[in-house]
Structures are given as C-alpha cells and as structure tokens.
C-alpha cells in the first residue's frame, strides 16, 4: 500500500475449472445446473475398488496453459497424489491432486509496471486436480438438514500458484485479469469468477520496506470478483499494518471475505488447513 514504513507482499492461488465435457477421472458430464446427483458414477462417488482414468483433454489444457505461462519445465512425467481430508462433499475422503510432481513449474506472467514497462510475476507451479461436490443447506421444514450434490465432484480444476511477487492489491487485480484473459483466449476456462469457475485465494503479508525476509501471511478466501480480491487485500493489509504498528503480531490464519459488509472473518488456523 502507500504506507512508507511497510510494503505488502502478495501471492495468488487460482483455481480454474476446465472447459471439458466430461469429468477428470470418469466419463460423467460436467454440465452445470442439472438435477442433483444426476452426473455421478462409481468413480466420482468414490466407491471402493474403482480406478480413475485421466481425461486426455485435461492434460492438454494444462500443458497449453503451462506453455502460455512460459513454464520452464513441463516434465514428461507428473504424478497425482491423495490429499486427505474429511468433509461431506468429498466422498472418497481424499482429493486427487498433484503435490511433489506437478504438471508444470517455474513460469511467469507479465503485468504493466508504469512507463510502458512490464514486470514479470513468477508462476511457481501449475497442477491438475478434481473439484469436490457441493453442500446444499435445507430451508423451511428442511432447515435442520443439509444435502450433498456430487455433480461437481470430479470436475477438472487447474491450480496456478504465483510466487509472492505482487506488491499491491492493484497488481494482484492486474495479474488476475491478465491470467483470466490468457485462460479464456486458450479456451480452457470461461473465467467467470462470479459463477465460481475461476476462484482465487490471496495470500498476503507485510514487512518493513527494505527487508527481504517474508512476514507471516494470512490467506483470504471467498472473493467472487476481481474487484473484491483488491478490496479484501486492501482491508487485510490495513489490518496487518495496524496490528504490527501497535507492536502486535500477525497470526497465520485463513480469513473469509464478507462482500456485503466488506470485512474479513477468521475461519480457521493454519494447523487445520495443513495435512
């Protein structure tokens, strides 16, 4: 921000829903808005004994994106891993994702940096994974109940992780707009943040100007537009600067953006988020 004592450091994790007709590990349709649980099969329902088979187009879309983001490495072999967590929207009890051997590494994206110059923002990695299902909370006589719709379970996602190279909320917005333009141009994602087909988690910390070590970060979720990403970051940077100026410490945690009240709410500590 414009504070002359502190600067902010931002890294973004973007999840893009890929525009394939079928899911990532089975032949079920990815079509949105149909009757709950109408696009499911033993694979995406997580029945015992089934085996996932990768969707060729998902890999092609991933590689196209990796090349467009100038990734230095797209290894001939990448590996899927199980990310274990327990939640009713995840029938297998683990998400199939990539961890140690992602699809692509070390790319960059250029953003405007004044006076007709461009600045490179590093891309740490691009990897493929599956989406989870959706919980639908009942209303009226069903307000005591929650329902699970697994139509989205197994829809292909591509995660694009940036280096902590962004310095202001505006730069983060610029990065997001440019990234979205690339994905939409390639035809791999429709780029609609408002509809959740593009989601962004924003990691942010502050440090005294001139310092090179990174400060403790918080992670912001639930922003459903570019503008909200910028607003949430600006609010959070302000909060962190105020804390540190008072001699207090930033605690590592995940915060949820509340777009109606334009505030962030604490969701959970990071211990829980890590597995």
Binding site for ligand ADP (CB under 6 A): 9-13, 161-164, 203-205, 214-215, 217
In angstroms, what is the minimal distance from the CB of 11 to ligand ADP? 2
In angstroms, what is the minimal distance from the CB of 166 to ligand ADP? 8
Token reading at 153: 């379970």
H/E element holding 269? strand 263-269
Cα dihedral across residues 138, 141, 144, 149: positive or negative: negative
Token reading at 87: 């939640």
- Asked if 184 interacts with Zn ion (CB under 5 A), we say no
Q: Where are the alpha helices (DSSP H) in the chain?
A: 56-68, 169-186, 226-245, 270-273
By beta-carbon proximity to Zn ion, the closer residue of 95 and 222 is: 95
In angstroms, what is the minimal distance from the CB of 45 to Zn ion? 7
Number of residues that bind Zn ion (CB under 5 A): 5
In angstroms, what is the minimal distance from the CB of 8 to ligand ADP? 8
DSSP string, 90-130: -TTSEEEEE-SS-SEEEEEEEEE-STT-EEEEEEEEEEEEE
- Asked if 161 interacts with Zn ion (CB under 5 A), we say no
Token reading at 33: 């808005």
Q: Name which position in 9, 16, 24, 28 contacts Zn ion (CB under 5 A).
A: 28
Given Zn ion, ligand ADP, none, residue 44, with its beta carbon under 5 to 8 Å by kind, binds Zn ion
Residues that bind Zn ion (CB under 5 A): 26, 28, 41, 43-44
């Amino acid at each position: 921000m414009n504070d002359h004592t502190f600067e902010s450091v931002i890294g973004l994790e973007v999840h893009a829903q890929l525009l394939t007709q079928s899911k990532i590990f089975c032949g079920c349709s990815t079509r949105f808005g149909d009757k709950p649980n109408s696009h499911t099969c033993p694979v995406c329902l997580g029945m015992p004994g089934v085996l996932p088979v990768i969707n060729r187009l998902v890999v092609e879309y991933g590689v196209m994106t990796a090349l467009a983001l100038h990734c230095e490495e797209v290894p001939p072999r990448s590996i899927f891993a199980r990310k274990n967590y327990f939640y009713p929207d995840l029938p297998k009890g683990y998400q199939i994702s990539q961890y140690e051997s992602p699809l692509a590494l070390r790319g960059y994206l250029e953003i405007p940096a004044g006076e007709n110059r461009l600045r490179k923002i590093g891309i740490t990695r691009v990897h493929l994974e599956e989406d989870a299902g959706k919980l639908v909370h009942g209303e009226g006589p069903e307000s005591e109940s929650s329902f699970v719709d697994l139509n989205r379970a197994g829809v292909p996602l591509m995660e694009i992780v940036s280096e902590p190279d962004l310095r202001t909320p505006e730069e983060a917005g610029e990065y997001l707009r440019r990234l979205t333009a690339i994905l939409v141009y390639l035809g791999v994602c429709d780029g609609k943040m408002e509809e959740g087909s593009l989601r962004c988690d924003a990691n942010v910390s502050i440090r005294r100007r001139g310092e090179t070590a990174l400060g403790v970060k918080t992670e912001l979720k639930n922003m459903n537009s570019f503008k909200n990403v910028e607003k949430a970051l600006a609010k959070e940077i302000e909060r962190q600067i105020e804390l540190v100026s008072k001699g207090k410490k930033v605690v590592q945690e995940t915060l949820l953006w509340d777009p109606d009240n334009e505030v962030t709410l604490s969701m959970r500590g990071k211990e829980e988020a890590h597995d």
